[in-house]
Each structure stands twice: as structure tokens, then as C-alpha cells.
Amino acid sequence: MADHLTEMQLAAAEAHDLLMRWQLIRVRLHNKLTIETVAECLGWSEDDVIEIESVTANPTLGELRRYAFAVGALMTRDVVPEIIAEPEDGE
């Protein structure tokens, strides 16, 4: 097993995180919810909601789950093993 993540793995993880947050923002906009409304629902400041929606944010899974609930989305988590091909004999 690799001791560290490759640049490609890190980039893929970051892209997945951004996509998930973009999908949550789309749900908020689709449901015509303002940042102020979401903040009130969560008991957060508007700045907290803006930060969660920021490209540079690194929210916890719990924060994302609460945000998802507030905007009317269901967030699921899947854990799957990464399959790493073993080199064949002679390679």
C-alpha cells in the first residue's frame, strides 16, 4: 500500500470535494434559499455559509451533512477500497 497520495490522487479528491459542494450550492439555489436563510436554519453566521461554499474551504463531513440537510439535500457517503494493480511477473 502506498505511504502517500500521488498528485493525481490528491487532484481527484479535491475535484470530487468541489463537485460535491457545487451540487449542494445548486440544490440551495434550486430551492430558492438564500445564504441568510441557510445560516438562520443552521444557527451559523452568513460568513460561515459563505466559507462552506468557498472554493478554498475545507469543511468537515459533519458541516457538509448539516448544510445539505438545511438546503434540502441528502448527502450520502460511500467508502470503497482503491484497487491497485500489482505488477505482473517480469515487469
Residues 1-35: tens digit of each pLDDT:
455 678 888 888 888 889 999 999 999 999 999 99
Q: Which residue has the higher pLDDT, 76 or 91?
A: 76
What is this structure's pTM?
0.77
pLDDT at position 1: 45
Task: List the chain domain ranges.
Answer: 15-71
Mean pLDDT, residues 33-43 taken together: 98
Give me the percent of the chain exceeding a pLDDT of 90.
56
CA–CA distance, 23 with 32 (Å, rounded to integer)? 14
Amino acid letter, 45: S
Q: Give the whole-angstrom CA distance, residue 16 versus residue 57.
A: 13
